[in-house]
Chain A
Amino acid sequence: MKRRTLLASGAAAAMAAVTGLPARAQEKTKVGFIYVGPINDGGWTQHHHHSAMEMVEHFGDAIEFMYQESVPEGPDAERAITQMARSGADIIFTTSFGFMDPTINVAANFPNTVFEHATGYKQADNVSVYSARFYEGRAIQGTLAGRVTQTNKIGYIASVPIPEVIRGINASYLHAKKVNPDVEFKIIWIFEWLNPAKEADAAKALIEQGCDVVLQHTDSTAPHQAAKEAGGVYTFGQAADMAEYGPMPRISSIIDNWAPYYIDRVQAVIDGTWTSTNTWDGIGTGMVGIGEVSDVVPAEYKAEAEAMRDAIATGDYHPFTGPITKQDGTVWLAEGEVANDGDLAGMFFYVEGIEGDIPS
């Protein structure tokens, strides 16, 4: 059976022969990826793929890489994962929340294969979960947004109402409010992760209603284009640096950088040290990257943002540090108290000051 292979197997075999590696080592580790979108979607999937390719480059001939793109969540996912597992993959990364149950189901049938599921919460002996603390980056965005806004209206294009997105809204609101008590957030839910036309319309609506900063938790660059056309509106890159829109409108970004994690985990499989883990990393390990703050931001604010980035990276500062009150007026975190991961994982409330309800 021919497989998607990114290396010349002949050369690898020859090398093995020369160096006299034991027979076991000739069996290259097979690494598989299951993507929810096409690899060129410009957002979520593209960045998983990008990180995967970095991992492939890192290992070179030591591994064999395969992937399947545009796998719909739902009945087809389980089959796609099964196909990959049975074609001999040693480790399979399933990179969308909707693959959670299918991954668990397939993992039960393939005890000798290990699985890594992104953004989920179900673990098994051969299933790890991993996710990124994107809210750390949101805190920095919120700080910058609060500083640069003239109209004190900040727009937020939200995707699907899940805790990750809500954490992002809360983190950015709290920090914008901290540096600029007059800010007001306008939130639009589009109920999709990627729909450029709808994102463009949402950005235009926000700009027309007076927002001069537009944050987005959706994957396309359409809001940047809308901001560029409108002029005088600031945006932030999402998933990718989106530097092509800098220095204006894009003034910074949150970059998904999964490569270090992927390298780490594949190495563990090669070494035979892989165990099931629950990883939730942030700026500290580089899983969440902060794109260069562009020069249109006054130097003092840029320095402030960078200081916050460094403080979060070292663990000196946690974006959810009390006092924080929920929207309904109840106290969530007392003065100086830091949010625990359990609360963060299931966060389904707005903090005090945000208008409107979370759709549910």
Chain B
Amino acid sequence: MDINPILILAALMVASTPILLAAIGELVVERAGVLNLGVEGMMIVGAVCGFIAGHNSGSMFMGFTGAALAGAAVSLIFAVLTQYLLTNQVATGLGLTMFGLGLSSLIGQSAVGTTDLSLPKLPIPLLSDIPFIGPILFQHDAIVYLSIGIVAGVWYFLSRTRAGLILRAVGENHGAAHALGYHVRLVRVGAIVFGGACAGLAGAYISLVRVPQWIDGITAGAGWIALAIVVFASWKPWRLIAGAYLFGGVTVLQLNLQADGTLALLDLIIIVVAALTIGYAIYRAIKTARFDVRDNIVPLSIIGIAALYALLRLLGMETIPVEYLSMLPYLATIAVLVGLRSGGAAASLGKTFHPSS
């Protein structure tokens, strides 16, 4: 086995950063009761504007600032349409994706190419020297830390501040929030613009750091994955990190498994995950003194997949069909959704608000 677990874990943090950034923005939007399906469109506009701003100014900081502003600007179109002209959020969001893909390509016609900018790694003193954990967690660039900082900030904002409470109230019941005198639309516009800025940053991380270059369609569907992660995380900020690392991890893992040519690492991961899941399910069953299938959809599906994998291995499977592997995170998301039942999404999600209704 040539795979170095430390490197693979560090790589997955980098690979997951754009989807994490886009997802944390969308999480706030959805907690405010708005479904913006235009993440991909905002991301790619951020990617091209960030690339141009960064490349022309020679400064990463300007690049990311420009990207955040550009993402926020296109999200404002969505905000005005859905909040003030009361258009359907699903249709408007899809329109925003189309518009963003077209606009980014127009803006970027003359900007195609690479850049010499690079974002230095910032090892955190002391922490980065810890064996194993240090190289995985504490030897990254500023944006990786920033993305986790934003997640922490969003968590704090939503659960510990009054403004966060208002935002959640708006998402749960816009009629009641309005009756209490809160500015439902203003709160939502704020959330949407925050979401746009985060998506812009996410796009710029791809075009300025991860690849780094600009060509048409460079985000390649990452915005859609961000939407999936928000659901996977059941709208909870900390779980978002787990979700992003799962999705990013599957990508990185499947590339590594292909290169390695053996399934030793996957065997190990599956054994560990299955053992942890079984332990957790037993612990919960003992603690609550009951076992309900519906409450255990997620553990049961994990155990099911592990069992299926074990069976295939025993039957002599030497390589996995990688082309099917990328389905897994989506199926996992559905399993999480089922496990959540109706508990997760903001009650007003996707519904149009007008004070008179």
- Residue A84, interface by CB 8 Å: no
A357 to B7, CA, bound (A): 26
Cβ-neighbour of B11 out of A189, A201, A225 (below 8 A): A201
- Residue B251, interface by CB 8 Å: yes
Count CB-based A-B contacts (< 8 Å).
101
* Per-position binary interface string of chain B over residues 213-233, scored 1 when its CB falls under 8 Å from any chain A CB and 0 otherwise: 101101110100000000000
Nearest CB of A to B1, in Å = 9
Whether B4 lies near A209 (C-beta < 8 A) is yes
Whether A41 lies near B319 (C-beta < 8 A) is no
Take A41-B215, A41-B216, A208-B8 as given contacts and tell me if A202 and B319 are in contact as well, using a CB distance cutoff of 8 Å: no
Whether A40 lies near B260 (C-beta < 8 A) is no
Nearest CB of B to A238, in Å = 14
A-chain residues with CB within 8 Å of residue B7 when the two chains form the complex: 208
Closest residue of A by beta carbon distance from B324: A359
- Residue B173, interface by CB 8 Å: no
Tally chain A residues at the interface, Cβ within 8 Å: 39
A233 to B128, CA, bound (A): 25
A206 to B105, CA, bound (A): 31
- Residue B80, interface by CB 8 Å: no
Nearest CB of A to B284, in Å = 36
- Residue A25, interface by CB 8 Å: no
Whether A222 lies near B220 (C-beta < 8 A) is no
Take A153-B2, A220-B213 as given contacts and tell me if A198 and B323 are in contact as well, using a CB distance cutoff of 8 Å: no
Nearest CB of B to A349, in Å = 16
Closest residue of B by beta carbon distance from A207: B7
Closest residue of B by beta carbon distance from A244: B114
Take A42-B112, A187-B259, A188-B259 as given contacts and tell me if A222 and B3 are in contact as well, using a CB distance cutoff of 8 Å: no
Take A205-B11, A208-B4, A225-B114 as given contacts and tell me if A186 and B260 are in contact as well, using a CB distance cutoff of 8 Å: yes
Cβ-neighbour of A200 out of B105, B211, B215 (below 8 A): B211
- Residue A195, interface by CB 8 Å: yes
A-chain residues with CB within 8 Å of residue B218 when the two chains form the complex: 196-197
Cβ-neighbour of A188 out of B3, B8, B255 (below 8 A): B255
A42 to B112, CA, bound (A): 8
Within 8 A of B (CB), among A34-53: 37-38, 40-42
A229 to B115, CA, bound (A): 13
Whether B118 lies near A197 (C-beta < 8 A) is no
Cβ-neighbour of A187 out of B2, B11, B258 (below 8 A): B258
Whether A201 lies near B112 (C-beta < 8 A) is no
Nearest CB of A to B139, in Å = 14
Closest residue of B by beta carbon distance from A196: B211
A189 to B321, CA, bound (A): 11
Closest residue of B by beta carbon distance from A191: B323
Whether B319 lies near A356 (C-beta < 8 A) is yes
B-chain residues with CB within 8 Å of residue A197 when the two chains form the complex: 206, 210-211, 218-220, 222
B-chain residues with CB within 8 Å of residue A189 when the two chains form the complex: 258, 322-323
Nearest CB of B to A350, in Å = 12
Whether B220 lies near A209 (C-beta < 8 A) is no
A40, A155, A211, A229 interface centre (most CB from chain B within 10 Å): A40
B-chain residues with CB within 8 Å of residue A357 when the two chains form the complex: 319
A-chain residues with CB within 8 Å of residue B212 when the two chains form the complex: 225
Take A41-B216, A196-B215, A221-B114 as given contacts and tell me if A355 and B2 are in contact as well, using a CB distance cutoff of 8 Å: no
- Residue B256, interface by CB 8 Å: yes
A-chain residues with CB within 8 Å of residue B219 when the two chains form the complex: 197
When A and B form their complex, which 9 residue pairs have the shortest distance between CB atoms, in order from nearest? Answer: A186-B259, A209-B2, A208-B7, A205-B255, A40-B112, A196-B211, A188-B258, A355-B261, A205-B256
Query: Residues on A close to B: CB < 8 A?
Result: 37-38, 40-42, 70, 153, 155, 186-191, 194-198, 200-202, 204-206, 208-211, 220-222, 225, 229, 244, 355-357, 359
Beyond the given pairs A42-B113, A201-B251, 8 more chain A to chain B contacts, judged by CB atoms under 8 angstroms and listed by A's residue number, are A189-B258, A198-B220, A201-B252, A201-B255, A205-B255, A205-B259, A229-B118, A355-B261
